[in-house]
Amino acid sequence: MVQGEIKLLGTWPSPSVIRVKMILDQKGLSYEYIEQDILNKSELLLKHNPIYKKVPVLIHGDRDICESLVILQYIDDNWPKTGPRVLPVDPYERAIARFWAGYIDDKLLSSFVGILKSTTEEAKAEKIADTHAALELLEGAFKKCSAGKDFFGGDIIGYLDVTLGSCLAWIKATERISGAKLLDETKVPLLMEWVKRFLATDCAKNTLPDVVRVEQYGRELQVTRWNVVSAK
């Protein structure tokens, strides 16, 4: 194992950064968090992620790891005996978890962010429908992955739980800004129960930003830029 201190470059509203914080905390790993201004990229960020120039970036000793889902896998592989495992041990279950994590980032996140980016009511309605469709598919994924247990990861929070859970503050803020109900217990009852359980965990309480603060930030982004939320 590479020895050395752990640093995390991030920005507070980013779901991608939040999920890395969740796993570092769940693993009980000490790290230095360094807040970044994405509109004025630091030399440190440009040095450690010269390709995409985005957060999060995990710096472990002399190594830098970019993109949140890759970082989560690195943490799990590098510290397998520290805290609970992040990904399932079974190869098939790992593959399924990776598939749905990619779906959350590629489809769900872009859909609810698209609601706030919409400049017409027609475009907004389309993105709301896309978000509902994505959540309904995740309802089925939860039923399959959880096998009747509390979390996507079974009895404990795992890879898919933090991937989706890191988006919850933004989903609720999007509801407040747009007036659209996205998490609807009549459409996704299993997910709604999961949301309640997830929000009650220390993992969520210690890392998720305040919804009101995210709402305010989202309203500001509607008239500025959107590269913070979509960071990977």
CATH at 151: 1.20.1050.10
Sheet of strand 63-66, all strands in order from the earlier edge strand to the far edge = 32-35, 6-10, 57-60, 63-66
H or E stretch at 210: none
* Residue 8 confidence (pLDDT) above 70: yes
Asked if residue 153 and residue 63 are part of one domain, the reply reads: no
pLDDT greater than 50 at residue 1: no
Is residue 229 over pLDDT 70?
no
pTM for this structure? 0.94
Query: Is 102 a residue whose pLDDT tops 50?
Result: yes
Q: Is 172 in the same domain as 111?
A: yes
Residue 108 lies in a domain: yes
Looking at residue 150, its pLDDT comes to: 97
Which tokens is 90 given?
């079974």
Residue 226 lies in a domain: no
Q: What is the mean pLDDT of residues 141-145?
A: 96
Structure confidence at residue 2 (pLDDT): 53
Residues 102 and 178 reside in one and the same domain: yes
The string of DSSP letters for 137-173 reads HHHHHHHHHHTTSSBTTBSS--HHHHHHHTTHHHHHH
Q: CA 18 to CA 24: how far, in whole Å?
A: 10
In tens, the pLDDT along 13-68 reads 999 999 999 999 999 999 999 999 988 999 999 999 999 999 999 999 999 999 99
Please report the pLDDT score of residue 143 as a whole number: 97
Nearest CA among 12, 60, 8, 71 for reference residue 34: 8
Q: By residue range, what is the domain housing residue 12?
A: 6-78
- Are residues 51 and 105 both part of a single domain? no
40 to each of 43, 51, 53, 170, 218, how far by Cα in Å? 10, 16, 11, 23, 19
Q: What is the pLDDT of residue 72?
A: 98
Q: Which of the four pLDDT bands, split at 50, 70 and 90, describes residue 156? A: very high
Residues 71 and 126 in one domain: no
Which element (helix H / strand E) includes 106? none
Q: What is the CATH number of the domain that holds 30?
A: 3.40.30.10
On the question of pLDDT at 226 being above 90, the answer is no
Q: What is the rounded distance in angstroms from the CA atom of residue 228 to the CA atom of residue 38?
A: 7
- At 161-200, the pLDDT tens digits run 999 999 999 999 999 999 999 999 999 999 999 999 999 9
Whether residues 105 and 202 share a domain: the answer is yes
113 and 215 housed in the same domain: yes
The CB-based long-range contact list for 194-200 (8 Å cut-off, 24+ gap) reads 194/142, 194/146, 194/150, 194/151, 194/152, 195/168, 197/150, 197/151, 198/151, 198/157, 198/161, 198/165, 198/168, 199/168
CA distance linking residue 131 with residue 103, whole number of Å:
12
Q: Is the peptide bond before 56 cis (omega within 30 degrees of 0)?
A: yes
Q: Whose CA is closest to 65, among 14, 16, 104, 100? A: 16
pLDDT for the residue 107: 97
pLDDT of residue 116: 94
